[in-house]
């Protein structure tokens, strides 16, 4: 068995012997077992947490987000669940929350918060630097409409954290392809630049998109892109980057490329200089 399971149920159904249970599996929570050596992914933590609730809880926060398919979730984060059992448990955040039936979905037999309710919980419970990338990733993974989150804000008017939630939603952009791209977009906005567009299509004379830019401003043809490690560690990617940059320059784009080692002040200075060249 690869997924978490209740040891008592497996023994009763004679799927395992006591010896097999104790030697091949380990308890993540009381009576909740996973294979020894299994990677503790956000999805596995969520499934185990749901079993801990005896299938009565509603998975929420980053756990719900992971089950909806969102990426870039830190695997060390505790699982989150709306549950009446709030006994402190390592690796679990049990929230005391009111929740309506239309805010609950069922995925693989498990109760989870809908994308809209998940976004609301993330937006109001975490600081902007964490919440905005998290909701960006959720928008990428689902058909989430921010208008649906706004309706929930109206429904729960007066609840703690709604001002923070509104501030988060105002910054969300599902075009971000990674948390670093979200970080870069927020850095540019905080520096006073106009809000950049994301995933800008660069089209040829026949209207076909030859490339997509992470973010930038089409009116001045200045783009800003975050280069991850694959751009430096892969020779094939390196060659593609050179050819792509030549093509973008032919179409009149100035591209500011950002890497992890760049300082914030230097990024802002370079982007300001690029925009000034088009003033």
Token code pair at residue 86: 């709030």
- Which CATH number fits the domain 179-277, given the four candidates 3.40.960.10, 3.30.1360.200, 3.40.50.10580, 2.60.120.10? 3.40.960.10
User: Residue ranges of the alpha helices (H) in the chain?
Assistant: 7-12, 18-24, 42-52, 61-67, 115-125, 128-141, 146-155, 162-169, 179-190, 230-233, 235-250, 264-277
User: How many whole angstroms from its chain centre is CA 12?
Assistant: 39
What distance in Å separates the CA atoms of residue 182 and residue 191, rounded to the nearest whole number? Answer: 14
- Write down the pLDDT at residue 233: 59
What distance in Å separates the CA atoms of residue 130 and residue 76, rounded to the nearest whole number? Answer: 15
User: How many whole angstroms from its chain centre is CA 152?
Assistant: 20
Token code pair at residue 138: 């959720």
Q: Could you tell me which of 60, 224, 226 has the C-alpha nearest to residue 134?
A: 60
What distance in Å separates the CA atoms of residue 121 and residue 131, rounded to the nearest whole number? Answer: 9
- Write down the pLDDT at residue 279: 76
What residue segments make up the domains of the chain, in order of their start?
39-169, 179-277
- Write down the pLDDT at residue 207: 82
Token code pair at residue 105: 């979905």
Ranges of residues in the chain with a pLDDT under 70 are 229-235, 238
Q: Could you tell me which of 60, 139, 63 has the C-alpha nearest to residue 104?
A: 60
- Write down the pLDDT at residue 183: 96
- Write down the pLDDT at residue 231: 52
Its pTM stands at: 0.91
| E strands present in 131-221 | 197-203, 209-217
Helix (H, G, I), strand (E, B) or coil at 103: helix
CA distances from 122 to 5, 129, 179 (A): 28, 11, 15
Helix (H, G, I), strand (E, B) or coil at 223: strand
- Write down the pLDDT at residue 232: 60
């Amino acid at each position: 068995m690869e997924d978490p399971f209740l040891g008592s149920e497996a023994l009763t159904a004679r799927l395992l012997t006591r010896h097999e249970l104790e030697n091949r599996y380990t308890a993540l929570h009381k009576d909740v077992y996973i294979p020894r050596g299994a990677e503790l992914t956000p999805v596995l933590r969520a499934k185990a947490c749901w079993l801990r609730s005896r299938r009565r809880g509603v998975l929420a926060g980053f756990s719900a987000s992971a089950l909806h398919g969102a990426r870039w979730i830190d695997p060390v984060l505790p699982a989150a669940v709306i549950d009446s059992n709030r006994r402190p448990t390592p690796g679990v955040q049990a929230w005391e929350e009111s929740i309506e039936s239309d805010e609950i979905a069922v995925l693989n037999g498990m109760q989870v918060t809908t994308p809209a309710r998940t976004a609301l919980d993330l937006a109001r419970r975490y600081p902007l630097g964490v919440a905005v990338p998290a909701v960006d990733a959720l928008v990428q993974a689902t058909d989430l409409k921010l208008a649906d989150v706004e309706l929930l804000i109206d429904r729960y008017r007066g609840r703690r954290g709604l001002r923070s939630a509104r501030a988060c939603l105002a910054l969300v952009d599902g075009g971000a392809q990674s948390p670093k791209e979200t970080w870069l977009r927020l850095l540019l906005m905080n520096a006073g630049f106009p809000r950049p567009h994301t995933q800008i299509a660069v089209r040829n004379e026949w209207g076909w998109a030859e490339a997509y830019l992470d973010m930038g401003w089409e009116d001045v043809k200045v783009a800003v892109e975050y280069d991850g490690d694959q751009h430096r560690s892969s020779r094939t990617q390196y060659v593609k980057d050179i050819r792509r940059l030549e093509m973008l320059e032919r179409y009149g784009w100035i591209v500011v490329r950002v890497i992890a080692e760049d300082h914030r002040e230097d990024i802002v200075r370079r982007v300001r200089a690029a925009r000034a060249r088009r003033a």
